[in-house]
Structure 1
């Protein structure tokens, strides 16, 4: 069985203390051209299939009665942020991204849809480690913290990200949330240890499976949600 030839063209590359970040264009012989983001040679996301990013945002937003102020941990190619901004209840979105190069590519049009997304007056972009940003956030200032820096604790983009699935980070997120506020973390596979840690910090947490169709493949991803109870 013959397969279509696919050409890859590098669009941009950056090196940091975390390693290599590459943006490349995927040009199949038959089919649409798309952008693909890779970190240290590992596929992170592309512009061809964005169902998981959108599902993450929509499911998290549905868990909050009034998500006026939202933190998105991880800019990526902007699709989670885009879905958050599509909710008319959202008044401000702080996007925390550790890679300056990725922010630059979105701002300068290297990622073609980037400038329009970042032009939304509700958006502010902070170049920082999301753990540091939340630790420094004003207490009780957000309604939703949505974490999308990996595909969950079992699929880390960088080994140092393991800390954001542990109690100290989860506590910082809880402190940054208002009463009724929600922390939502995406995972590509069941993560019982994460659920246990979230339950210990917040008092209660739940995992929800979401069926997503990815290029004709049925996949189940997980959203872990914890809420700040009144009196917490």
Structure 2
């Protein structure tokens, strides 16, 4: 059984939220953008790893974290559960997702009651204030090699990445989720001015009898 929870057409295209129940009673929420499958919560391990792996590489407390892309809320929720986090700013381009979050429809973030959480509508590239955050997490698209929105390409280019890393305080971490391992993106991160310890974590996930390799790419600002 599949039920449409919401559908909105806006300046960035159509966004639809679906919920389906499998034969075993498992409930799955699915996000579709312009008719293209964007994500679901069959397995949320890599979205959560984006947060936990980045935060594990940062020392200290009272951490400020910027999350680019709300999705179904799993990355933001993982940040809020981590010790030492004082502020979480989530920037989301699609107003509909913010409305569905407020209505409690996002499974990863069913409540917005945490006072540390701030949901902001807009383009995350406009939130890259210099030296503002300890951690910047980007999951605005499927990565540089399979974009849902072509307009996101600039975020994965050298200048976009430099601005993202510039928003990280010295010693902080920039982390990016990708639907596939991307040696090209890893090379760009390693070549950024002020970048150290660039790495790519390949995260295999089994779905429907197949193994998919997702990736989290991380770089520290020295």
Q: Please give the TM-score of this superposition, normalised by the length of structure 1.
A: 0.87
Question: Are the structure 2 counterparts of residues 15 and 222 from structure 1 closer, same or farther at C-alpha, using a change threshold of 3 Å?
Answer: same
State whether structure 2 residue 100 is matched by structure 1 residue 105: yes
Match 1:218 to one of 201, 205, 211: 211
Gaps of 5+ in 2: none
Gaps of 5+ in 1: 1-6
1:4-153 alignment, distance < 5 Å: 7-66=1-60, 68-111=63-106, 114-116=109-111, 118-134=112-128, 137=129, 139-153=130-144
1:152 positional shift? 1.2
State whether structure 2 residue 191 is matched by structure 1 residue 196: no
Deviates more, 1:151-160 or 1:214-223: 214-223
State whether structure 2 residue 153 is matched by structure 1 residue 158: no
Q: State the structure with more CA Rg.
A: 1
Q: Any idea what SS the aligned residue of 2:191 has?
A: helix
Distance in 1 (alpha carbons) for counterparts of 2:41 and 2:154: 28
Partner of 2:199: 206
> Once superposed, what is the RMSD of the aligned Cα atoms?
1.8
Deviates more, 1:11-20 or 1:213-222: 213-222
Q: Please give the TM-score of this superposition, normalised by the length of structure 2.
A: 0.90
- Which structure 1 residue ranges, 4+ long, deviate > 6 Å from structure 2? none
Deviates more, 1:118-127 or 1:188-197: 188-197
Partner of 1:228: 221
Match 2:175 to one of 178, 184, 187: 184
Aligned residues: 219
Distance in 2 (alpha carbons) for counterparts of 1:223 and 1:11: 30
Deviations 1:45-90 (A, max 9, x none): 2233212211222112222223611111100110011111111111
